[in-house]
Structure 1
């Protein structure tokens, strides 16, 4: 299994090296997850290859493509795909039980417009996704690496967002959400300085949660406890 990597920069912006941006916690598969992987992977699974994926062939049709990085157990991704059958969805997740759970839920809900990679997101984006092919990229509640010395491990970094810009169509959107205010501020700082993006927020900071992003149980509980959640949506302009 490859590791997700992002660039590490010094305080003055000098490129240092590529580093891990997640900790792989493989976990044990339940019987249901194992069965879902076995039965659903042939139709919904995408095997990583270092060549561009033929999206029309993968889905059996032409449609706008939404790609989500790190979908966890996949419940909200399945919900989104079911609610928008006119779109094609791709999920990328390194946690095998999450992939199994997502495939199982998708099969149970009769979702046919979802495909899944079990691989490193950066490698998939760099090698398997053609430039200018995505309508939206979603990054919801990524690991905040909340200790200051670990901030360099956060996936939202200048090099990474330029990789995403290449993959988005002109007018395509990078949609982020986090429940860590410090990470939201970091995302806003990186994206505001990023070439080729425009903030969709009228106040030039955060947006209200759009209808297409489901409210998770965890998030709803957080709201009841007074915890904040910040959504950011930046459009590729050039």
Structure 2
């Protein structure tokens, strides 16, 4: 991390970072670590969780714009989390918390069943080399964990700039028990709650189309 990010981590970490009991790995979540969102945020409110929040552009913007909703950012890279909490502090976003942990373990062990109103997965690592595609996040196993975390009627929102990953997402989610398409046609309309980031603009400049998907928990 840069000096500024280290300073943000030390100053703002106690406010924004959730303490997580670990299993074997540093970014793991120990079984039995379930949180109570009402205790964490000090109120009962809709909960939006972003998986792989990166530097936090989307979730900080959303948290600042929707103070009536609670937001949880899940990321494994400390530099991104430090940038997120620094920007959240500047924006006065008190309805945001951060978790430094592997996303599947957060869904499995940290979040209570049926506690999430929206789950966001925006531009996950595409692992575009053929020998690496097995490392992609959106699999049947992930869909099962997502189904367990989302309330009935909740939404799983996805976006990627890699067409073959988008089609893999469709194959996985169309076959996933407990989900139904929340869109008509080949792709969902662009989710208007997702702020346009430098990453997305860069993908568009090099000719990669952004594809959105939305699936409702049923």
Using structure 1 for the length normalisation, give the TM-score.
0.84
- How many angstroms does 1:104 deviate by? 0.5
1:87 corresponds in structure 2 to: 69
Deviation readout 1:30-69 (Å, 9 max, x if unpaired): 1211111111111111011342101011111110000011
1:219 corresponds in structure 2 to: 200
Tell me whether 1:155 sits opposite 2:137 in the alignment. Answer: yes
- How many angstroms does 1:122 deviate by? 1.5
1:35 corresponds in structure 2 to: 7
CA contact (8 A) 2:57 2:195 kept: no
1:106 corresponds in structure 2 to: 88
Relative to structure 2, which stretch is displaced further, 134-143 or 222-231? Answer: 222-231
- Structure 1: which 5+ runs fail to align? 1-28
Q: Distance in 2 between matches of 1:82 and 1:76?
A: 10
Where does 1:200-215 land on structure 2 (aligned, <5 Å)? Answer: 200-203=182-185, 205-215=186-196
Deviation readout 1:181-227 (Å, 9 max, x if unpaired): 01000000100111110111111x31111211111122124334542
- How many angstroms does 1:113 deviate by? 0.6
Where does 1:1-238 land on structure 2 (aligned, <5 Å)? Answer: 29-49=1-21, 50-203=32-185, 205-237=186-218
Q: Distance in 2 between matches of 1:66 and 1:36?
A: 24
- How many angstroms does 1:74 deviate by? 1.0
Aligned-residue CA RMSD in angstroms?
A: 1.2
Q: Distance in 2 between matches of 1:227 and 1:127?
A: 35
- Structure 2: which 5+ runs fail to align? 22-31
